[in-house]
């Protein structure tokens, strides 16, 4: 009979699952396979993107776990830094007008966590906190995928400690902040921006203009993105704490590799 530690899902199994959802997401992004069936303002049009929301939380969770359990923090940071640069190359090719690497975000989150821990070790907690916040904000300035909230997600899971329930609560709260609160704010921000320059009349007019679309599409879309992202809490709750089978380098190379393959397929299709 298998012991309790052998039950559940290993880190490798969960990362393979995340890799599958990442491919689904990027297929939806590059090929829009449901475009022949639904218009862009139909919620069903984005099914591939909804499914793709299950990738980021799993990888973010394991970056936090990597920061917590790595035996050589400097080597771990170096790997993330190198692949942050490597992955930016295919992203510039695949998305020349806005391709952003999630590995940049993960690297800055891990760097911030390292600064925090070093500050604690040296008895300079305040300095560590300042450097941690600077690294998190740098994810926005350097246009890492998911921005500062993506880096903050990794940090939140790490600061939740070893307790799995607290880790998942921190992860779920971060996902709600990003996919629901963040996207809703992004929708209303242009209306709010009118207040200083054009006053309440322009603000209320823009508000009235935006409400129908918000109720019909944008809010349900944001709720679906949030719900699918939070679905990752279920498989992560089955994490057994084991590394599992599979080389760690596979997941580093898979991210840029699958983007190049999808881009080549896109080029071949467009040339036919």
pLDDT over 90 for what percent of the chain?
66
- Mean pLDDT for the stretch of residues 138-149: 91
Class of residue 259 by CB neighbours under 10 A (exposed 0-12, middle 13-18, buried 19+) = buried
1 or 89, which is more confident = 89
Q: Are 253 and 260 in contact (CB under 8 A)?
A: no
pLDDT greater than 50 at residue 133: yes
Structure tokens at 215: 């109720």
**What one-character DSSP code corresponds to residue 39?**
-
Average pLDDT, the chain: 90
For the segment 2-44, what is each residue's pLDDT rounded down to a tens digit? 444 457 899 999 999 999 999 999 999 889 999 999 999 999 9
Q: Which pLDDT does position 99 carry in this prediction? A: 62
For the segment 67-107, what is each residue's pLDDT rounded down to a tens digit? 999 999 999 999 999 988 888 877 777 776 666 789 999 99
CA distance 155 to 109: 6
For the segment 39-62, what is each residue's pLDDT rounded down to a tens digit? 999 999 999 999 999 999 999 999
Give a three-class secondary structure readout of 231-269.
Answer: CCHHHHHCECCCCCCCCHHHHHHHHHHHHHHHHHHHHHH
CA distance 72 to 78: 10
The residues with which 239 forms a beta bridge, in sequence order, are 9
Q: Which pLDDT does position 3 carry in this prediction? A: 47
CA distance 79 to 66: 12
pLDDT greater than 90 at residue 1: no
Domain ranges for the chain: 10-175+242-260
- pTM for the structure as a whole: 0.90
Q: Which residue do the tokens 């009118």 mark? A: 194
CA distance 184 to 43: 16
pLDDT greater than 70 at residue 169: yes
For the segment 197-231, what is each residue's pLDDT rounded down to a tens digit? 888 988 899 989 999 999 999 999 999 999 999 99
């Amino acid at each position: 009979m298998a012991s309790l530690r052998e039950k559940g899902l290993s880190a490798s199994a969960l990362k393979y699952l995340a890799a599958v959802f990442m491919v689904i997401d990027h297929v939806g992004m590059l090929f829009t396979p449901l475009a022949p069936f639904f218009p862009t303002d139909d919620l069903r049009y984005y099914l591939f993107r909804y499914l793709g929301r299950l990738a980021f939380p799993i990888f973010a969770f394991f970056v936090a776990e990597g920061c917590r359990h790595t035996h050589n923090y400097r080597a771990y940071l170096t790997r993330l830094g190198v692949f942050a640069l490597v992955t930016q190359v295919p992203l510039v090719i695949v998305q020349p007008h806005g391709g952003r690497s999630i590995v940049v975000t993960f690297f800055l989150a891990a760097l911030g966590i390292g600064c925090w821990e070093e500050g604690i070790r040296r008895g300079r907690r305040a300095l560590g906190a300042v450097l941690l916040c600077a690294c998190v904000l740098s994810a926005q300035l350097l246009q890492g995928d998911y921005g500062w909230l993506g880096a903050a997600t990794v940090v939140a899971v790490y600061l939740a400690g070893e307790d799995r329930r607290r880790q998942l609560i921190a992860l779920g709260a971060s996902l709600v902040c990003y996919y629901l609160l963040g996207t809703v704010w992004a929708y209303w921000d242009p209306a709010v921006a009118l207040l200083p320059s054009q006053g309440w009349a322009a603000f209320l007019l823009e508000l009235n203009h935006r409400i129908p679309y918000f109720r019909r599409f944008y809010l349900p879309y944001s709720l679906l993105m949030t719900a699918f992202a939070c679905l990752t809490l279920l498989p992560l709750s089955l994490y057994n704490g084991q590394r599992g089978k599979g080389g760690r380098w596979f997941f580093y190379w898979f991210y840029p590799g699958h983007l190049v393959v999808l881009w080549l397929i896109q080029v071949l299709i467009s040339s036919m």
